[in-house]
Structure 1
């Protein structure tokens, strides 16, 4: 342990105040942001390279789609175990191990010799990436303390908001200017640096009594979450709702998740997911906002680039560059938002204002007459970026408002499971609406209007639980 390590926060930090972040907290936040950025980038950057994979391996688009699907399924499989693993081995140890697995997967993907090997190595990548996002939030709770959590959450929110925007740009540039292999090899230096520095700059904290792993709970919830994501991916890929390849996984997910709920009621203390957390108002309201916001956010992330490509005839790189306007809005607002969160006790106004801006931006797209990246659409994207920044960080901070620090791993894991379900379902629903839009099919501006309207509806619905977000209790 070095003298730069993040130390346990003193008792005085429990008092609400405006404490400086300090070098150790900033360094830890930057490490967490960098690690999460490359993992989240890989969820979007690969979409641009699918055609290159198809040409290289002489495969159809349906086969190549498994390069993206394998990553999502592997992520879903490991997310539910995050809380227990963080308590048993320590969040820093799990973070470093996850980075190492992700790094290994990236190297292997860059060396892939066939489509089958690429799909398998993407699954390895996903196994590493799945725990990174919830672990990032668990570590923020540990290193920042309540008085600095808003600003620290804002720092780590940057990759979450920017990576979906940067993915198409980075992917398009690499595929057009270099080889598709660099889509994966680009991760290597960043992951290596973060994996080496993380144990030096953050203290590993283990629970003295983590309990035994609930294997039955892990099988049911991981299997259920993975099956649900597979069903939604297939639904979003164009298969009809009644197709057995859609219904089968979704029905299996319903059975497995119901079984997990019944097991959790019987096991209580040993349960992998602690549903008792929903008795806490702050956690329940924040989780509902996160779930519904994932529907609208990920649906819009898919829709906007497609809008400019299919309805506007733009290339992937150009469509990605247009999304920079949203990233600029998020970047401009997110750090200021962190200061406001720490200074004010009530997040409700910030979140509602953010949702209003996102809704306004989506409303512009829902009423657009042309897919030209002109001033109005760019302004709408910028407003969406600002709105996402206003809404995201306060919700994440509120999640932990009235929970003891020891509950952070369980709370984060349960919330991450809900977000993964919301993201998969939201993407599938807007894609399904787009496929069935009329008149004119998916290549027209008119076809995109109902899909944007659905995403807008999810955002407006999110305002209902957001109105119940409680103020932070100060002691």
Structure 2
């Protein structure tokens, strides 16, 4: 009887066979390219500014447009997966990302690059939620944790590899290769998906919520464009009309769905759940801090210390190494250690500790100290963000997992886009006044303040999660 009791848990937790491991690695390959495109661009900003004769507030749209497109396409992902099947929708997203990457590499102006970055983002936006839906289909909930652990590899590897690869490509070849390198990798991901990932048929029924698509996919970019221009040296009309239009679209749609009782693309009722609402807020704020830093740090070393693109990429690597080191511990702690709330609060404290040295640093400051600070910052970001994937679904029923994933993914991309845009505007304004050190100090202060707001949000997480 004791032998049966001892073997019962193993029967309840089937392992990952070779097929499931292979599927996870294929999904990692596609997601890795999408994540790489969010990190590799940071070291190319200076080269793009010089090539196109543009300011940082303009060049940052090469990053922001990508993230906005990511956020805009996510609401369609759930419908596409239901209509065509998650695997077919995933393959289509890879094809769009491949086309966008090739076009970015052939860009002839900053405007064309921004447009093609939108195409990239439209392809990449569906990959993250679709990969989770494919995992649920092929592995089931009982093996989802281990599959997601394998798929966490790109999230921790991209911040290490992206800036270094980008630095090498920009310095030794051309900024164009930052995008062209994606093409053979994505071709391989498409072929492997068609060959090895099961393609369940879609329902073939249902229509997307057209009003929701227009409101969310149109309102978010307009709202963020207006917010990014707010405070810049630009005519009031350049930020007032998109801010007003975005607010009207999103606010009007929210009121309409609330009064009609229809679920809509984003189920607003989910935010009545405290754990879910707090987790989404932390995902938004965490990505704000993460992407703002990914934009600022390479520029700090390029403009402040005269480093080249490769030097700036290597300078950012300690943050990625800190994230990689922390993720190996965070998974175990989430299962058997302190509460997610405690981990998030501790992580946010480390993020602040790792950012303050940049607030105080001078252009020719101690590089070793800043490298240590970035490592600490990377550890903190992992502990601040990773546990929210556990608390996100803490008290939600299984049938709301897909809706929760969509809403959270939108918040993450919006946070990253807004973080990049805000610090770019702050930095550009002070650089225009001729103060390099003051510009970077003010921009890094923005991330510290955002971390403080995230700390307050983390206090609302349930203690038992």
What is the TM-score normalised by the length of structure 2?
A: 0.85
* Residues 446-465 of structure 1: CA deviation (Å, up to 9, x unaligned): 44233222211211221222
Q: Which runs of 5+ in 2 are unaligned?
A: 1-6
Name which of 420, 426, 434 aligns with 2:427. Answer: 434
2:238 pairs with 1:249: no
Name which of 265, 268, 272 aligns with 1:272. Answer: 265
- State the SS of the aligned residue for 2:361: coil
After superposing the two structures, state which structure 1 stretch, 218-227 or 106-115, moved more: 106-115
After superposing the two structures, state which structure 1 stretch, 194-203 or 299-308, moved more: 194-203
Name which of 311, 314, 325 aligns with 1:321. Answer: 314
Partner of 1:336: 329
* Residues 232-275 of structure 1: CA deviation (Å, up to 9, x unaligned): 4545xx83376322222122111111011022213434511111
Q: Distance in 1 between matches of 2:420 and 2:442?
A: 14
After superposing the two structures, state which structure 1 stretch, 379-388 or 88-97, moved more: 88-97
Partner of 1:453: 445
* Residues 156-192 of structure 1: CA deviation (Å, up to 9, x unaligned): 3442344345433322311222244322221122212
* Residues 198-257 of structure 1: CA deviation (Å, up to 9, x unaligned): 35544445675974311011101111012123334545xx83376322222122111111
Deviation at 1:70, TM superposition (A): 4.7
Partner of 1:174: 169
2:232 pairs with 1:239: yes
Partner of 1:4: none
Deviation at 1:435, TM superposition (A): 4.0
Q: Distance in 2 between matches of 1:436 and 1:366?
A: 17
- State the SS of the aligned residue for 1:323: helix
- State the SS of the aligned residue for 2:386: helix
Partner of 2:97: 102
**Is the alpha carbon distance of 1:425 and 1:51 closer, same or farther for their aligned partners in structure 2, counting shifts above 3 Å?**
closer
Partner of 1:36: 31
2:71 pairs with 1:79: no
Q: Distance in 2 between matches of 1:97 and 1:247?
A: 36
Q: Is the 8 A contact 1:40 1:163 kept in 2?
A: yes
Q: Distance in 1 between matches of 2:138 and 2:330?
A: 19
Q: Distance in 1 between matches of 2:57 and 2:385?
A: 34
Partner of 2:302: 309
**Is the alpha carbon distance of 1:155 and 1:455 closer, same or farther for their aligned partners in structure 2, counting shifts above 3 Å?**
farther
Partner of 1:126: 121
Q: Distance in 1 between matches of 2:432 and 2:319?
A: 29
Q: Which runs of 5+ in 1 are unaligned?
A: 1-11
Deviation at 1:296, TM superposition (A): 1.9
- State the SS of the aligned residue for 2:207: coil
Q: Is the 8 A contact 2:88 2:199 kept in 1?
A: yes
**Is the alpha carbon distance of 1:60 and 1:350 closer, same or farther for their aligned partners in structure 2, counting shifts above 3 Å?**
closer
- State the SS of the aligned residue for 1:357: helix
Partner of 2:284: 291
Q: Distance in 1 between matches of 2:93 and 2:132?
A: 14
Task: State how 1:156-235 maps to structure 2 within 5 Å.
Answer: 156-205=151-200, 208=203, 211-234=206-229
Q: Distance in 2 between matches of 1:345 and 1:19?
A: 26
Q: Is the 8 A contact 1:48 1:172 kept in 2?
A: yes
Q: Is the 8 A contact 2:171 2:308 kept in 1?
A: no
Q: Distance in 2 between matches of 1:287 and 1:233?
A: 21
Deviation at 1:329, TM superposition (A): 1.1
Aligned length: 459
Deviation at 1:441, TM superposition (A): 4.2
- State the SS of the aligned residue for 1:213: coil
* Residues 346-402 of structure 1: CA deviation (Å, up to 9, x unaligned): 322222222121111012222334544522211111111111222222112321233
Deviation at 1:125, TM superposition (A): 2.0
Q: Distance in 2 between matches of 1:407 and 1:91?
A: 17
**Is the alpha carbon distance of 1:454 and 1:150 closer, same or farther for their aligned partners in structure 2, counting shifts above 3 Å?**
farther
Q: Distance in 1 between matches of 2:458 and 2:182?
A: 36
What is the TM-score normalised by the length of structure 1?
A: 0.84
Q: Distance in 1 between matches of 2:420 and 2:64?
A: 13
Q: Distance in 2 between matches of 1:47 and 1:370?
A: 19
**Is the alpha carbon distance of 1:252 and 1:442 closer, same or farther for their aligned partners in structure 2, counting shifts above 3 Å?**
farther
* Residues 122-150 of structure 1: CA deviation (Å, up to 9, x unaligned): 33222211222332344445555555555
Q: Say what the alpha-carbon RMSD is for the aligned residues.
A: 3.5
After superposing the two structures, state which structure 1 stretch, 243-252 or 427-436, moved more: 427-436
Deviation at 1:423, TM superposition (A): 1.8
